[in-house]
Amino acid sequence: MGINSVKVHLSKDTAISEIKLILGADFEKKKVFLVVEGQSDQKILNKFCDSNTQIFISYSGKQGIEEVVNLKIVSDKRVIGIRDKDYCTQASSDRIFFYDKCNSEMMMLSFHDVFESIYYEYYEGIFDSKELINFIFRELSKISKLRKYNEDNRMSIKFEGFHHNDLLDSENKLKLEEVISKIKEINSERDSFFIGDILNSEEENDIEYLNITNGHDFIWFFKTLCNKEKTGKGVSDHQISSTLRGSFNKNHFSNTNLYSSINKYCDDNFISSPFI
């Protein structure tokens, strides 16, 4: 494995141990360490990284990144966390940086030509690319509001498992009552009456969709639309995500706030940029 290899770690404890070991052996202090949530983050960032940069996966999501970066035994300015912002407004450390917009997918989709890469590859419907992306954002907006409410109020609502292919009606709109039913079913052990109230609330006119939409929701909805319109074999979430990442290039990345913020942090702390 070369020094720019991305190593797969089974837990944040493994990542912590290896970061600590490499820090101790890096007498010239040339290496920079990026701690990310998962393998998709690794795939997005690896092609932009310098040979002295090593990426470690927390395998514990955002919480794992917070724990690794804030741990005293690896409290070196060269250990930097990158995580989805979701609905957080303030990072817990000056060494933790958010993707632009809500999450990595929304950061990539903020460049319309990146969305067009999946639009032209997989979509066979009647919408043009701008109509389609706005349609998906609008249809997902109530789920997005519920996700934001959940995080803002620390409600611990579970969403895993509600993505089903039968949740769009004949006009490709979200079957809201069935979504409510599925999310309530997933959270059956708790009082979840408020879920329907939030999902049925009036739409706001000034929603910034890129700052509120969950990337997995977007890819699921896009995939479901494509598979309803497609005449041949259906497309998978994995294929869409892979095409999205592959279309996000250095020019896009260098125009993100994430890129400029990390480079500024490195300049301010006399650290080499982790990026090429």
Hey, what are 115's tokens? 């969305």
Residues 141 and 222 in one domain: yes
Residues 65 and 176 in one domain: no
Q: Is residue 275 part of a domain?
A: no
52, amino acid identity: N
Number of separate domains in the chain: 2
Q: Is residue 168 part of a domain?
A: yes
pLDDT of residue 7: 45
**Which are the contacts of 165, defined by CB distance < 8 A and separation ≥ 6?**
224, 227
Name the one residue in this structure whose structure tokens are 């706001």: 204
- H-assigned helices in the chain: 12-25, 39-46, 61-69, 104-109, 112-122, 129-152, 176-186, 194-199, 215-229, 237-247, 250-253, 257-268
Q: Other CB atoms closer than 10 Å to residue 162's CB: what's the count?
A: 20
pLDDT of residue 86: 95
Q: Is residue 273 part of a domain?
A: no
Residues 119 and 237 in one domain: yes
The pTM for the full model equals: 0.91
pLDDT of residue 2: 37
pLDDT of residue 130: 97
| Alpha-carbon dihedral sign for residues 31, 4, 257, 218 | negative
pLDDT of residue 40: 95
pLDDT of residue 51: 93
- Tell me which residue range forms the domain holding 19: 12-99+256-268
Q: Is residue 129 part of a domain?
A: yes
Average pLDDT of each block of 10 consecutive residues along the chain (276 residues)? 43 86 88 94 96 91 90 88 94 95 98 98 95 97 92 89 91 91 87 72 75 97 91 88 98 98 97 95
Q: Is residue 173 part of a domain?
A: yes
Residues 199 and 129 in one domain: yes
Q: Is residue 5 part of a domain?
A: no
Hey, what are 57's tokens? 């996966």
Residues 169 and 83 in one domain: no
Residues 136 and 60 in one domain: no
pLDDT of residue 10: 60
Distance CA 130, CA 121 (A): 15
* Size (the chain), residues: 276
Residues 122 and 79 in one domain: no
